Amino acid sequence: MKSTPLRPLFLNLILITTCLPLAAQMNSRNTPLDGPRPEIFSPATIKRADALIKQMTPEEKLAQLNQLFLFAADPKIDAAVTKGQVGSLLFVTDPTEINRLQHLAVENSRLHIPLIFGFDVIHGFRTIFPVPLAMASSWDPETVTRAQTVAAAEARSVGIDWAFAPMLDIARDPRWGRIMEGAGEDPYLGSAIARAQVRGFQGPAIGTPDHVLACMKHFAGYGAAEGGRDYDASYISDAQLHNVYLQPFHAAVEAGVGSVMSAYMDLNDVPATGNHMLQTEVLRDDWHFQGFVVSDADAVKSLEKHGFAKDPADAALRAFNAGVNMEMAIDQTAYSTLPAAFQAKQITLAQIDAAVKPILEAKIQLGLFEHPYNDVPHSQQVLNDPAHRTEALHAAERSAVLLRNENALLPLSKTAYKHIAVIGPVADNKHDTIGSWAFQEDANEAVTLLEGLRTKVGQSAKVDYAQGVQVKRLYPSFFDAIFKEPKEADWTADQAKSEYDKALSLARSADLVVLTLGEKQDMSGEAASRSSLDLPGEQQKLLEAVTALGKPTVLVLLNGRPLNITWASEHVPAILEAWYPGTQGGNAVANLLFGDVVPGGKLPLSWPRDVGQIPINYSHNLTQDYTAQAKRYWNEPSTPLYPFGYGLSYSTFAFSNLKVAEPQNKVGQPIHVTIDVENTGSVAADEVAQLYVHQQYGNASRPVRELKGFRRVNLAPHAKTTVDFTVTPADLSYWSPASRTWTEDASTFDLWSGNSSAAELHTTFTRTR
């Protein structure tokens, strides 16, 4: 179910810079405020924070707004913590060190206010789950919640109270490296995954034991970076902002998320971190968000680089006035100038109180005043909990997407193959199994694809490995210093030839080839954008040469973005997208390849044929000459290689009997839809029933179809079930650029249901006033 639409949001506020007086902006409001108010802090918490604020000096309050990175013990930071000059630290992960710093804060500062420790807990802490794009491919919010529940418990056990996740940036350009950190292209799926993550991190309420404060990021529009170049400006129309990019954030606010991270880039020429429209009008005024905003790392100081702020002091004022409560900084914060700004009467005490209040409320409700220290021996037990590995296995199995399976090559027979060749640069690398945004894993325990296959086949087959090619970035990643992967020395030309030949001769001698291609750990994530979607390095050459041998060949992809596999989609019999599957990746892939688990994941994005098709999201508008829509380019189809929502199974499914309970209904009423799904194959398997809607006419053009419901179901062979969906008025509302307000039209709507965005089973309903 989708949440209430964003309302009200005001077009002209988007165009106004932060400098205009609020009164001028208020005049633009044209719809009543009617969104729910998610109460995330209890009355007792609020009362206690108010009482504390009364005891604090302005300087003490402002100190709480500073957050600093700490990569290694630093006497300067110890001194600042001791004097109560810092509210939060990030990147400290050792539980003993966390306790030491917390003792300094609690015992020495005047009011004994504990620090809140933050960290990037993106897809696991010690146990690494599949990357977020993979988790979204499960189309299973329950699995997502369970994964983030484990991640939260592990992080909290070492004293980390706050996860800088979920990342809710809609991304429609796979050149952008951070597409891997989000849920893909769609606001409806993205909203469902957002709610599931908030619930996993925070539990039913902030302060639930063994959970952490969540931080939705990056607010907002970061995923639309021009050219897919990380940090570059985004230009997003008002309609796209409201109907697409802001939706998952609003869903997370309604799910009770406690904090927000501002984005780095300019949104329509106003930096997100100095953007009053985003951080105050949308977030607080329209959505009634009660938590706090932290800047992205050094994003406040970089307001100067944007050509927005004059100097660091001006940057601090602009971010503070826009609504950024806390500044995250690698070294000195620009917010350290705020006491002087207060002295100079540039900011008021009321503003300071409002800024510090939700930070204190979060600390209170998380229980940090009562329980500031972690229990180190207990944390080791939590981190080593085998149940967490079982969850990671389950998540990886549910995240993989079967893209192709000619002549039912998969599942592999357990007896037919005696010599298996595993080939490719990411097949036996722990880090490439784990993926980006993991720092606290025990890499040794990650199971590579090669290891997983060897365990699976045991003595029944020989499994040999050859890397074949070496894959590297042209420009190194700044994360290489933090990632623990030892850097491979560059191969000489002779070595490269001999490794390549070795791979081919291994393939020749085997009776099954598992080619494992994709991207290295540092090839996606932050600052990991690419101008191409080709398989990096010489992997395409290797792929074609190995495939030409004519052996039964399975291509397994480990990567964080769709890649150009158009050739493979025509020539390689089986393709499994495993993404970066995490700690249990190799075991999960082996279970899937041999049919102990049946793939049921679906793509959370449209998979382009090549880089030139970007953007190619399924929910585009219809225009002139509909029949030619699939042939907009004269050199290749305009359709994606694989549509959004697509994914095969080892079974087959039939959809029938699509029914709307109210084919004639009134604007403002919900609509009830049912569809029968039958497993027509011979194995028990999962299918994702999907529901798409299109408004035929109205106040503005609407996309050709939009996801408005989905459910992953498990069906025994030949079993049939009826899946029901409720399409709410909110689902049919949209922000219209024509009327500049939220709109729900009287119209006729198309409805499709099936197992991808190309679903054909169709009906209609009509809404009148």
Amino acid at position 277, single letter: M
CA dihedral sign of residues 151, 153, 156, 158: negative
Give the nearer residue to ligand NOJ in terms of CB position, either 299 or 359: 299
Instruction: Write down the least CB distance from residue 737 to ligand NOJ, Å.
Output: 30
Give the nearer residue to ligand NOJ in terms of CB position, either 41 or 219: 219
Give the nearer residue to ligand NOJ in terms of CB position, either 164 or 219: 164
Residue (of 560, 641, 656) closest to 606 by Cα position: 641
- Helix 449-457 and helix 585-593, axial crossing angle in degrees, nearest 10: 50
Give the nearer residue to ligand NOJ in terms of CB position, either 94 or 724: 94
Residue (of 316, 376, 377) closest to 347 by Cα position: 316
State the Cα–Cα distance between residues 5 and 727, nearest whole angstrom: 13
CA dihedral sign of residues 241, 610, 707, 138: negative
Name 549's Cβ contacts closer than 8 Å, sequence gap at least 6.
Answer: 504, 507, 508, 513
State the Cα–Cα distance between residues 292 and 279, nearest whole angstrom: 10
Q: What is the CB neighbour count within 10 angstroms for residue 595?
A: 15
Instruction: Write down the least CB distance from residue 76 to ligand NOJ, Å.
Output: 20
Instruction: Write down the least CB distance from residue 122 to ligand NOJ, Å.
Output: 8
Q: What is the contact surface with ligand NOJ in residues (CB under 6 A)? A: 120, 164, 217, 296-297, 526
Residue nearest to ligand NOJ (CB): 164
Give the nearer residue to ligand NOJ in terms of CB position, either 299 or 572: 299
Instruction: Write down the least CB distance from residue 296 to ligand NOJ, Å.
Output: 5
DSSP H or E run through 261: strand 259-262
Instruction: Write down the least CB distance from residue 536 to ligand NOJ, Å.
Output: 23
Query: Counting Cβ atoms within 10 Å, is residue 69 exposed (0-12), middle (13-18) or buried (19+)?
Result: middle
Residue (of 340, 383, 4, 415) closest to 156 by Cα position: 383
Contact 517, 539 (CB under 8 A): yes
Give the nearer residue to ligand NOJ in terms of CB position, either 294 or 598: 294
Tokens of 392: 């990671």
The residue from 230, 286, 296, 298 that is catalytic is 296
| 296 a catalytic residue | yes
Instruction: Write down the least CB distance from residue 217 to ligand NOJ, Å.
Output: 6
Give the nearer residue to ligand NOJ in terms of CB position, either 51 or 330: 330
As a whole number of angstroms, the longest Cα–Cα distance in the chain is: 80
Contact 303, 19 (CB under 8 A): no
Give the nearer residue to ligand NOJ in terms of CB position, either 207 or 223: 223
Phi, psi of 701, rounded to the nearest 5 degrees: -70, 140
Q: What is the CB neighbour count within 10 angstroms for residue 26?
A: 12
* H, E, C per residue of 68-83: EECCCCCHHHHHHHHC
Instruction: Write down the least CB distance from residue 69 to ligand NOJ, Å.
Output: 8
Instruction: Write down the least CB distance from residue 68 to ligand NOJ, Å.
Output: 12
Q: What is the CB neighbour count within 10 angstroms for residue 662?
A: 15
Instruction: Write down the least CB distance from residue 523 to ligand NOJ, Å.
Output: 17
DSSP per position, 549-595: T---EEEEEE-SS----HHHHHH-SEEEE--S--TTHHHHHHHHHTT
Contact 692, 757 (CB under 8 A): yes
Bond preceding residue 672 cis, omega within 30 of 0? no
What are the residue numbers of the active site?
A: 296
